[in-house]
Structure 1
Amino acid sequence: MDTGDFRKNLKIEIDGEPWVILEATHVKPGKGVAFVKTRMKNLLTGRVLERNFRSGDKVEKPDLLERPMQYSYPEGDMLVFMDTSNFELVNLTRDAVSEVLPYLIDNLEVNILFYQGKAISVDLPTFVELEIVETDPGVKGDTAQGGSKPATLQTGHVINVPLYIKQGERVKVDTRTGEFAERVK
């Protein structure tokens, strides 16, 4: 694969390890050779690194497999996911999936990323529906334009929601930004 094809969320292999590109900027200086400035995250260790690649350099695609699975239950320091096609169970440590924990609820459909046969990460759907378990009561006259207030989701995660949202309501949350998207009817 050519470095000119680099873009956000592209997965590449460097020094025998899989990386995902978080940011890619193609730079063409007035003098000198064009290059691609990247910010990448190691899919095995979680380490973030900034690195420049010369335009035209070649990199390998990693041996990654993405399988749809369903979150089942926590077991100690592990989280258990089930492949709904063959009922195979896969365990991932809480540390490996710490960034998705605020949105993980029972039976949530996710994609598990495997590298060389080993589960390494979880990709959430773009939006998840969660229940508000605690927030200040709404007051008559609160509108969508009227600001926001903190609300605790069923997972224990706290987000800001519009003033008209009440305890017990279900909301759609954008898992990329962690922000309120809309109320679920």
Structure 2
Amino acid sequence: MISSNDFRTGTTIELDGQVWRVIEFLHVKPGKGSAFVRTKLKNVMTGNVNERTFRAGETLPQAVVEKRDMQFVYPQGDNEYVFMDMESYEQEALTRETLGDGAKYLKEGMSVSILKWQERVIGVDLPNTVVLQVVETDPGVKGDTAQGGTKPAKVETGAEVMVPLFITIGEKIKIDTRDNSYLGREN
């Protein structure tokens, strides 16, 4: 059990049979009446964000989320991805729905953190940045723009990223997996 006074960003709680992560919290003590904690919670399984207010000192069950380091081994068919536990060397297949948008950044040999709650996989934490090779993009013509525009580029995993006009096929680029943005070239 955890008190609402002990909420911190990243704390996980069980609410209505689901796991929620505290994104924001604010402890409010009005001049009149009792204190309360205003929170913004994110459902770990669905990604929905919800605002909720708790009385100060209210106790809630804390969700114990286990984080396991695993390595992506290979894709299996169109909808499954096989991961290997780095400690026990056991393999586990996860579906595209479980991985969400993260599936488009997976490269063989990549290390990720698998989040489990009550022996169920509830999510995957990817590295914040990945380095991938551009396999398809339109050629950038000198003098195309005075301001520095962008164009779509397809990387080796199949993800599409908007990149500057000077990027060519075969270059390695760094991508932010949180918002699918181009960060720069990589040697």
Where in structure 1 are there 5+ consecutive unaligned residues?
A: none
Distance 1:137 1:4, change over 3 A: farther
Distance 1:119 1:169, change over 3 A: same
Cα RMSD for the two superposed structures: 2.5
* Secondary structure, aligned partner of 1:101: helix
* Secondary structure, aligned partner of 2:60: coil
Question: After superposition, where does 1:15-164 map in structure 2 within 5 Å?
Answer: 15-27=16-28, 29=30, 31-76=32-77, 77-140=79-142, 146-164=148-166
* Secondary structure, aligned partner of 1:102: helix
Offset of 1:88 from its aligned partner?
Answer: 0.4
What is the one-letter code of the residue matched to 2:109?
Answer: N
Greater mean deviation of Cα atoms: 64-73 or 26-35: 26-35
Distance 1:138 1:65, change over 3 A: same
Distance 1:28 1:182, change over 3 A: farther
Distance 1:55 1:139, change over 3 A: farther
* Secondary structure, aligned partner of 2:10: coil
State the alpha-carbon separation in 1 of the partners of residues 24 and 31 from structure 2. 22
Q: In percent, how many aligned pairs have the same letter?
A: 47
Distance 1:5 1:142, change over 3 A: farther
Where in structure 2 are there 5+ consecutive unaligned residues?
A: none
Offset of 1:124 from its aligned partner?
Answer: 0.4
State the alpha-carbon separation in 1 of the partners of residues 29 and 137 from structure 2. 50
What is the one-letter code of the residue matched to 1:149?
Answer: K
Distance 1:152 1:56, change over 3 A: same
Alpha-carbon contact 1:138-1:165 (below 8 Å) kept: yes
State the alpha-carbon separation in 2 of the partners of residues 153 and 25 from structure 1. 41
Aligned partner of 2:169 in structure 1 is 167
Alpha-carbon contact 2:130-2:175 (below 8 Å) kept: yes
Offset of 1:162 from its aligned partner?
Answer: 1.6
Offset of 1:121 from its aligned partner?
Answer: 1.2
State the alpha-carbon separation in 1 of the partners of residues 14 and 185 from structure 2. 40
Offset of 1:25 from its aligned partner?
Answer: 4.4
Offset of 1:114 from its aligned partner?
Answer: 1.2
* Secondary structure, aligned partner of 1:95: helix
Offset of 1:5 from its aligned partner?
Answer: 4.1
* Secondary structure, aligned partner of 2:152: strand
What is the one-letter code of the residue matched to 1:67?
Answer: R
TM-score in terms of structure 2 length = 0.83
Offset of 1:32 from its aligned partner?
Answer: 4.2
State the alpha-carbon separation in 1 of the partners of residues 56 and 136 from structure 2. 51
Offset of 1:27 from its aligned partner?
Answer: 4.6
Alpha-carbon contact 1:142-1:164 (below 8 Å) kept: no
